[in-house]
C-alpha cells in the first residue's frame, strides 16, 4: 500500500498535478478579507446534494449519500451503512485523540476562522480542534519519500483573483475506522486528493467547492459544495479541549459508551 501511495504521488508530482507551483506569494493588501468567525451551514452530511432521504442527518440509520464510488467501494460504504444501522459505527474523533482530517475538517459544527496571509492560509476549525495549513508561498510538495499519509494531508494553494485554490494530497486511508468523511459511513482511499476553491460569495458567505478525486475509490471526480456564514461581529471562538471531560469512549467493537459522573459506564450493554 505504501508503494502504491508513493507511486500515485510521484505521478502527481511529475505531472505538476495541475497545480500552480512556484508562483510568488501575493501581497497582503491584494488578499481578500475573510476575518471574523464563520459557521458552516447545514448539518454534518458531507454531500448534502445527494443525501437520501432528503434532509437526513449524519449518523441516522438508513441515511446515505451517493459519491461516484467504484463497485468495490460502494460495497464498503454499504457495509458501513449497515454498521451505522446497528449503532456500532465508531467515530474516530470520539477518542479526542486524532484530527478529523481532510475533507471532513471542512464539514464541522461549531465555528471556523480563516487566517489569510501572503505565505499561507490557515483554516482553523474550533471543533477538534483542527487546522488546515494551505501554503501559498510558492513552495513545492516535499519529495515523495518525505511525505507520508496524514489525516489532513499536505496542501499547496494559490490565488485566482479573490479565490483561493488549493490541492490537498497525501491523505490517510480509513483503516480500522481511524478516519471517516462523515457518520453515514463515507470513507476514501489513500489515493484521494482534493482540490478546493474557496471564495467569498458576499459579505457574509464563504463558499468552498471541493472536488475529490480518488483513483481507487471513485469512478469520477466528486464535487461537493460547503458554505459558511459569517457570525455577528464580536463572536468568540473558544478552546475546544475534547479530552477535558470525554464521557463517551468507544469500545473495541465500535460501541460508543456513556460514562456516569463517577467515570464508569452506565450502559447496560458493553461490548
Binding mask 229-258 for another protein (x = CB under 8 A): --x---xxxxxxxx-xxxxx-x-----x-x
- Contact flag: residue 59 with another protein (CB under 8 A): yes
Per DSSP bridges, beta strands 222-230 and 205-214 are: antiparallel
Residue 212, C-alpha cell as written in the block:
475529490
Between CA 132 and CA 63, with CA 175 as vertex, the angle to 5 degrees is: 80
> Residues 148, 155: contact at Cβ < 8 Å?
no
CB of 152 to another protein, least distance (A): 18
Q: Which is nearer to another protein, 146 or 269 (CB)?
A: 269
- Contact flag: residue 94 with another protein (CB under 8 A): yes
Q: Is the peptide bond before 53 cis (omega within 30 degrees of 0)?
A: yes
Residue 66, C-alpha cell as written in the block:
451517493
- Contact flag: residue 176 with another protein (CB under 8 A): no
Q: Taken in order 33, 34, 37, 43, is the CA torsion positive or negative?
A: positive
- Contact flag: residue 53 with another protein (CB under 8 A): no
CA 128/CA 111 separation, integer angstroms: 11
**Binding residue for another protein (CB under 8 A) from 74, 82, 91, 207?**
91
**Binding residue for another protein (CB under 8 A) from 14, 27, 233, 269?**
269
CB of 179 to another protein, least distance (A): 15
Q: Which stretch binds another protein (CB under 8 A): 46-54, 103-111, 117-125, 144-152?
A: 103-111
Distances (CA, A) of 107 to 111, 224, 227: 10, 11, 9
Q: Which is nearer to another protein, 125 or 164 (CB)?
A: 125
CB of 230 to another protein, least distance (A): 13
Q: Considering just the CA atoms, what is the radius of gyration of the chain in Å?
A: 19
> Residues 151, 101: contact at Cβ < 8 Å?
yes
Instruction: List residues near another protein by CB under 8 A.
Output: 57, 59, 84, 87-91, 93-94, 96, 109-111, 126-127, 183, 231, 235-242, 244-248, 250, 256, 258, 260-261, 266-269
Amino acid at each position: 500500500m505504501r508503494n502504491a501511495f508513493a507511486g500515485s504521488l510521484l505521478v502527481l508530482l511529475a505531472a505538476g498535478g495541475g497545480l500552480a507551483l512556484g508562483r510568488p506569494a501575493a501581497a497582503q493588501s491584494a488578499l481578500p478579507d475573510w476575518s471574523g468567525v464563520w459557521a458552516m451551514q447545514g448539518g454534518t452530511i458531507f454531500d448534502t446534494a445527494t443525501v437520501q432521504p432528503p434532509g437526513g442527518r449524519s449518523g441516522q440509520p438508513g441515511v446515505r449519500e451517493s459519491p461516484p464510488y467504484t463497485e468495490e467501494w460502494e460495497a464498503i460504504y454499504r457495509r458501513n451503512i449497515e454498521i451505522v444501522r446497528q449503532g456500532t459505527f465508531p467515530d474516530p474523533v470520539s477518542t479526542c485523540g486524532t484530527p478529523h482530517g481532510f475533507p471532513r475538517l471542512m464539514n464541522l459544527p461549531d465555528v471556523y476562522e480563516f487566517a489569510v496571509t501572503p505565505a499561507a492560509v490557515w483554516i482553523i476549525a474550533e471543533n477538534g480542534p483542527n487546522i488546515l495549513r494551505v501554503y501559498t508561498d510558492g513552495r513545492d510538495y516535499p519529495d515523495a519519500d518525505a511525505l507520508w499519509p496524514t489525516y489532513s494531508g499536505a496542501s499547496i494553494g494559490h490565488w485566482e483573483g479573490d479565490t483561493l485554490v488549493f490541492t490537498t494530497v497525501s491523505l490517510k486511508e480509513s483503516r480500522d475506522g481511524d478516519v471517516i468523511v462523515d457518520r453515514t459511513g463515507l470513507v476514501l482511499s489513500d489515493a484521494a486528493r482534493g482540490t478546493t476553491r474557496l471564495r467569498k460569495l458576499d459579505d457574509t458567505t464563504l463558499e468552498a467547492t471541493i472536488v475529490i478525486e480518488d483513483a481507487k475509490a471513485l469512478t469520477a471526480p466528486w464535487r461537493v459544495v460547503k458554505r459558511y456564514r459569517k457570525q455577528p461581529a464580536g463572536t468568540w471562538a473558544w478552546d475546544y479541549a475534547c479530552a477535558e471531560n470525554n464521557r463517551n469512549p468507544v469500545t473495541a467493537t465500535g460501541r460508543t459508551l456513556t460514562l456516569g459522573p463517577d467515570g464508569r459506564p452506565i450502559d447496560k450493554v458493553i461490548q
